[in-house]
Structure 1
């Protein structure tokens, strides 16, 4: 995830939530990477959303099409 210094100031809670999910947050200042917010070692796997990466093993390349097909519902012919 990438965020600006303004995002960090205004959305600190969301940035910390991202680190709890195991994400690294790159902080940019004037468009240049300046700092990295990372989870504490050993905490990376805790609290990870079980749905994270659920499409990783999918044979289909287009996830949007797959989701649209799932949302269409059943057809009764």
Structure 2
């Protein structure tokens, strides 16, 4: 990935996220490559299966599918539903 010094100043979080994914970011200044932003080697890269939220509803005791559960969570509620 390539970015300018202005991108580095304005979008630091996005560029750091790219390095967290294992990407290298080349920083250019006035059209010339000047620096490289690289991930640290001692940090393990996150994998999808290692994400603690992956399989969040795997132990669910309901018979509803994930889509139906999400639909219920997103459904509008009225004040009568509150206990």
| Shorter-chain TM-score range | 0.5 to 0.7
Q: CA deviation at 1:42?
A: 2.9
Structure 2 segments unaligned to the other structure (5+ residues): 50-83
The C-alpha deviation readout for 1:36-72, integer Å capped at 9, x for no partner, is 00000132x512568xxxxxxxxxxxxxxxxxxxxxx
Indicate yes or no: 2:37 matched with 1:37: yes
- Corresponding residue of 1:17: 17
How many residues align? The count is 49
Question: Gaps spanning 5+ residues in structure 1: where?
Answer: 51-77
Larger RCO, structure (CA 8 Å, separation 6 or more): 1
Query: How many angstroms apart in 2 are the aligned matches of 1:20 and 1:26?
Result: 15
Residue 47 of structure 1 is matched in structure 2 by 46
Equivalents in 2 of 1:31, 1:48: separation in Å? 35
Give, in whole Å, the separation in 2 of the partners of 1:25 and 1:49: 22
**Higher Cα Rg, which structure:** 2
**TM-score where L is the length of structure 2:** 0.54
Equivalent-residue separation in structure 2 for 1:49 and 1:25 (angstroms): 22
Moved over 4 A (4+): none
